[in-house]
């Protein structure tokens, strides 16, 4: 990334600072990243209104607080502060397009693995332009990874931690080496878990099916959004349950979902093609509804959106 492409500001430990000033010593770097928990949040630019809407900001801040609690990090930041800091940062960087926002909390102190004791929590929030793909028709070919999904006995998948991504990295690299676009994970019981950074849905006989919350998945906010929209807008039946690998080979449609992935249609799994194509008709409908919701054009779900107030520039 070139210097010009860096955002002007980021937020670090209670204040907005110029990008260049956000440095840590090299020897602190990996100690901090071992403990790091984070969030991925999107802001959608509504051009007609000249406004940026941050999607489910408070839910993301609450999940970050949960991750920090589960890691036993000293509590230094409140949900309210994280929300306000995110709004202030996006406004300061003065975007006129969709953005991705990443708050990341980490423990600093005595360089021991335990975060208990002589430790404090630090946090930064970073934002960058990230164009939505919700207008695009595209799809991915997926495979089941030979790597097993992390689980509650080893690295709890419920915690959104940087360290968990070692698991995803192995699966993504393997998938790419074998000529696939993306990977799906099975859990230690051999049941379907999720993607490499997204949850997964299948459509079968008009019903939406997704692995339940104890299948080794992250408690995804997009997954929750999709369940709401499927039931409330499309009147679909949604099953959250244990899902078999072979069952997914017989699916009519499949898609990944996540803040970063948005709604990503899957064309095939282990070269079994989805019967209704990709994006299939239900995937397409859900994607279109999701798009109208996140941009604030569907007024039924405006309570999920936080307007940044782009008309008003932040004071520096």
Ligand X SMILES: *Cc1c(COP(=O)(O)O)cnc(C)c1O
Q: 220 a known binding residue?
A: yes
Which residue from 145, 215, 220, 283 is in contact with ligand X, where contact means CB under 6 A?
Answer: 220
Instruction: Give the Cβ contact number of residue 290 at 10 Å.
Output: 23
Q: Would residue 8 show up in a list of annotated catalytic residues for this protein?
A: no
How far is C-alpha 167 from the chain's CA centre? Answer: 16
How far is C-alpha 30 from the chain's CA centre? Answer: 23
Q: Which of 160, 191, 205, 207 is catalytic?
A: 160
Q: How far apart are the first and last CA of the chain?
A: 25
Binding of residue 194 to ligand X (CB under 6 A): yes
Could you tell me where the beta strands, DSSP code E, fall in 214-288? 238-241, 253-258, 262-269, 272-273
Binding of residue 198 to ligand X (CB under 6 A): yes
Whole-angstrom distance, CA of residue 201 vs CA of residue 283: 9
Whole-angstrom distance, CA of residue 91 vs CA of residue 114: 36
Binding of residue 122 to ligand X (CB under 6 A): no
Q: 63 a known binding residue?
A: yes
CB of 300 to ligand X, least distance (A): 20
Nearer to ligand X, 220 or 264 (CB): 220
Work out the angle between the directed axes of helices 221-232 and 57-71 (0-180°, nearest 10).
140
How far is C-alpha 113 from the chain's CA centre? Answer: 26
Q: 172 a known binding residue?
A: no
Nearer to ligand X, 198 or 283 (CB): 198
Q: 225 a known binding residue?
A: no
Binding of residue 150 to ligand X (CB under 6 A): no
CB of 167 to ligand X, least distance (A): 8
Binding of residue 221 to ligand X (CB under 6 A): yes
Which residue from 43, 103, 109, 197 is in contact with ligand X, where contact means CB under 6 A?
Answer: 197
Whole-angstrom distance, CA of residue 304 vs CA of residue 290: 12
Q: 306 a known binding residue?
A: no
Nearer to ligand X, 16 or 266 (CB): 266
DSSP 169: H
CB of 164 to ligand X, least distance (A): 6
Non-local CB neighbours of 180 within 8 Å, separated by 6+ positions: 141, 142, 143
Q: Which stretch binds ligand X (CB under 6 A): 68-76, 220-228, 241-249, 271-279?
A: 220-228
How far is C-alpha 23 from the chain's CA centre? Answer: 25
Binding of residue 200 to ligand X (CB under 6 A): no
In the complex, the residues that contact ligand X under the rule CB under 6 A are: 40, 160, 194, 197-199, 218, 220-223, 258-259
Q: Indicate which residues carry an active-site annotation.
A: 160
């Amino acid at each position: 990334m070139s210097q010009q492409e860096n955002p002007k500001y980021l937020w670090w430990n209670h204040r907005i600072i110029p990008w260049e000033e956000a440095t840590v010593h090299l020897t602190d770097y990996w100690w901090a990243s071992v403990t790091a928990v984070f969030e991925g949040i999107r802001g959608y630019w509504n051009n007609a209104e000249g406004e940026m809407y941050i999607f489910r900001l408070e839910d993301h801040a609450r999940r970050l607080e949960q991750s920090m609690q589960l890691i036993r990090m000293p509590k230094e930041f409140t949900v309210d502060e994280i929300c306000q800091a995110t709004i202030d940062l996006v406004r300061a960087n003065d975007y006129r397009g969709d953005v991705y926002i990443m708050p990341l909390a980490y423990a600093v102190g005595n360089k021991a693995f335990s975060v208990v004791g002589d430790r404090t929590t630090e946090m930064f929030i970073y934002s960058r332009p990230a164009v939505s793909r919700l207008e695009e028709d595209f799809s991915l070919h997926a495979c089941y990874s030979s790597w097993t999904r992390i689980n509650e006995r080893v690295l709890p998948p419920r915690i959104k931690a940087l360290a968990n991504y070692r698991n995803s990295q192995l699966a993504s690299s393997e998938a790419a080496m074998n000529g696939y676009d993306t990977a799906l994970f099975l859990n230690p019981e051999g049941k379907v878990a999720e993607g490499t950074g997204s949850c997964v849905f299948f459509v079968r006989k008009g019903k939406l099916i997704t692995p339940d919350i104890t299948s080794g998945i992250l408690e995804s906010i997009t997954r929750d959004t999709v369940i709401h929209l499927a039931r409330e807008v499309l009147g679909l039946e949604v099953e959250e349950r244990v899902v078999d690998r072979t069952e997914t080979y017989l699916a009519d449609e499949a898609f990944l979902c996540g803040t970063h992935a948005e709604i990503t249609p899957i064309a095939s799994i282990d070269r079994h093609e989805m019967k209704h194509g990709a994006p299939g008709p239900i995937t397409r409908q859900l994607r279109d509804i999701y798009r109208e919701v996140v941009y604030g054009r569907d007024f039924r779900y405006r309570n999920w959106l936080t307007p940044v107030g782009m008309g008003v520039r932040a004071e520096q």
